[in-house]
């Protein structure tokens, strides 16, 4: 599948990717390299993995990273309870249980990384928010990402039957190590352009009025140029337009007061709510921007 075909199949799965992203995904698949996706929250990093798995008919294995994530939660763990039970059961019989029997795959609990490595079918492995995990865990990942294998001391090295397509996402809350970055291809997911965002909303909310979608997306695009603490992402745009659609709106109202109650979908901090008052909302609806103390009409 070339990059154009991949882009189209992603489109069918509900993800509107630009050409650059499609090329990067195609390259990651061809070179069998993991892809590190960075970008602000809400630009569609996780959604890309879901759509990719869906369009390629692969299983999605997801590892959600957090502080304190360790090997037992991410890769594998021995099923101690079952091992003890096996020992007790053998105590009632005359035959002795061999140590190698206790440390076999039967007693190994697979966690996401091992699940992806030992999957019978090709899968998509999503390592979400890698920046939230500790540096020690990042170092452990190097073996998995470089050679697609996991070493279990009692069993040996388990190598992937099918190389999974690995996507790592990061919000940049912590600087990732150079070693990890060098093993990955990199893509910065930016906020979508006006046309792409309209296409995304239309594909997700096909029943919303066309005028409403265009005006609301243009409003959000203008809002992103404001000096906000938390810039609204695509997820926020979708939430907001969904809310407006539920309120039976056919287009953005002229009266900003009618919108104020719904702005909670877009503005997530107190400072941002304070900054974007009714007057500013009116200017954003009309497409005016403030330059110094003067207002300028929007250019066509």
**Contact residues for another protein, defined by CB under 8 A:** 2-3, 19-21, 23-24, 27-28, 30-31, 33, 35, 38, 68, 80-81, 84, 136, 172, 175, 178, 181-182, 185-188, 227, 229
Min dist CB 131 to another protein, Å, is 12
Bridge partners (DSSP) of residue 150 are: 158
Smallest separation (angstroms) from another protein to the CB of 124: 17
Nearer to another protein, 139 or 261 (CB): 139
135/255 with CB nearer another protein: 135
Q: How many CB atoms lie within 10 A of CB 8?
A: 14
178 vs 279 by CB, closer to another protein: 178
3 state SS for the chain: CCHHHHHHHHHHCCCCCCHHHHHHHHHHHHHCCCEEEECCCCCCHHHHHHHHHHHHCCEEEEEECCCCCCHHHHCEEECHHHHHHHHHHHHCCCCCCCHHHHCCHHHEEECHHHHHHCCCCCEEEEEECHHHCCHHHHHHHHHHHHHCEEEECCCEEEECCCCCEEEEEECCCCCCCHHHHHHCEEEECCCCCHHHHHHHHHHHCCCCCHHHHHHHHHHHHHHHCCCCCCCCCHHHHHHHHHHHHHCCCCCCCCCCHHHHCCHHHCCCCHHHHHHCCHHHHHHHHHCCEEECCEEECCCC
Minimum CB distance to another protein, residue 51 (Å) = 18
Q: Decide whether 23 or 64 has the Cβ nearer to another protein.
A: 23
Nearest approach in angstroms of CB 21 to another protein is: 8
Give the residue with the Cβ less far from another protein, 83 or 204: 83
Nearer to another protein, 97 or 251 (CB): 97
Indicate the residue among 80 and 154 with the shorter CB distance to another protein. Answer: 80
Q: How far is the CB of 190 from another protein (least distance, A)?
A: 9
Place of tokens 């893509």: 187
For residue 84, the minimal CB distance to another protein (Å) is 5
CB of residue 14 vs another protein: minimum separation in angstroms? 22
- Supply the minimum distance, in Å, between the C-beta of residue 76 and another protein: 14
Tell me how far apart the alpha carbons of residues 232 and 224 are, in angstroms, rounded to a whole number: 7
- Spatial CA neighbour of 9 closest among 49, 46, 52, 44: 52
Query: Which CB, 35 or 53, lies closer to another protein?
Result: 35
């Amino acid at each position: 599948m070339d990059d154009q075909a991949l882009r189209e199949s992603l489109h069918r799965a509900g993800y509107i990717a630009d050409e650059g992203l499609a090329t990067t995904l195609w390259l990651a698949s061809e070179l069998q390299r993991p892809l590190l996706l960075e970008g602000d929250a809400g630009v569609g990093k996780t959604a890309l993995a879901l759509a990719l798995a869906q369009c390629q008919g692969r299983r999605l294995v997801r590892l959600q990273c957090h502080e304190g994530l360790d090997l037992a939660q991410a890769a594998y763990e021995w099923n101690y309870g079952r091992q003890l039970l096996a020992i007790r059961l053998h105590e009632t019989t005359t035959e002795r249980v061999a140590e190698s029997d206790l440390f076999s795959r039967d007693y190994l609990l697979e966690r996401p990384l091992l699940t992806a490595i030992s999957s019978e079918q090709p899968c998509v492995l999503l390592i979400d928010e890698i920046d939230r995990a500790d540096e020690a865990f990042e170092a452990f990942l190097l073996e998995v990402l470089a050679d697609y294998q996991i070493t279990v001391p009692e069993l040996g090295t388990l190598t992937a039957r099918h190389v999974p397509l690995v996507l790592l996402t990061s919000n940049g809350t912590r600087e990732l190590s150079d070693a990890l970055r060098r093993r990955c291809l990199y893509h910065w997911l930016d906020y979508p352009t006006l046309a792409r965002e309209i296409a995304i909303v239309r594909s997700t909310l096909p029943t919303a009025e066309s005028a409403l979608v265009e005006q609301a997306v243009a409003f959000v695009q203008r809002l992103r140029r404001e000096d906000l603490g938390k810039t609204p992402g695509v997820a926020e745009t979708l939430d907001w337009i969904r809310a407006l659609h539920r309120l039976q709106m056919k287009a953005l109202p002229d009266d900003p007061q009618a919108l104020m109650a719904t702005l909670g979908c877009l503005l997530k901090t107190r400072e941002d709510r304070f900054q974007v008052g009714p007057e500013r909302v009116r200017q954003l609806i009309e497409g005016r921007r403030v330059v110094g103390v003067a207002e300028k009409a929007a250019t066509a």
